Amino acid sequence: MIHDSRICALGEGALWHPLRKQFFWFDILGQCLMSQDREGPMVWRFPEMVSAAAWVSEDVLLIAGERDLFLFDLISEEIEVLCALEAEKPGNRSNDGRADRQGGFWIGTMAKGGDMTGKGAIYRYYRGELRVLYPQVSIPNSICFTPDGKHAYFSDSFTRHVMKVALDSQGWPVGAPAVFIDLKADGFSPDGAVVDADGNFCCAEWGGGRVAVYTTDGALQKTFEFPAPHTTCPAFGGPGLSTLYCTSATQGLSPEVLAANPLSGSTFNVTGAGRGLPEPRFVLP
Q: Spell out the residues 6+ positions from residue 266 whose beta carbon is closer than 8 angstroms to its own.
A: 2, 3, 4, 5, 6, 7, 8, 228, 248
pLDDT in tens, 161-205: 999 999 999 999 999 999 999 999 989 999 999 999 999 999 999
pLDDT-derived band at 274 (thresholds 50, 70, 90) equals: very high
Write out the catalytic residue numbers. 191
- Check residue 39 and give its pLDDT: 87
* Residues of the chain above pLDDT 90, percent: 95
Q: Is 113 exposed, middle or buried (0-12, 13-18, 19+ CB in 10 A)?
A: exposed
- pLDDT exceeding 70 applies to what percent of the chain? 100
pLDDT tens digits along 31-88: 999 999 888 999 999 999 999 999 999 999 999 999 999 999 999 999 999 999 999 9
| 114 has pLDDT over 90 | no
Query: What per-residue confidence (pLDDT) applies to 210?
Result: 98
Q: Could you give all domains of the chain from N- to C-terminal order, each with its CATH number?
A: 2-271 (2.120.10.30)
Indicate if the pLDDT at residue 115 is higher than 90.
no
Confidence of residue 138 (pLDDT cuts 50, 70, 90): very high
pLDDT at 267: 98
- Average of per-residue pLDDT values in the chain: 97
180, 242, 277, 278 from 239: Cα distances, Å: 31, 6, 12, 12
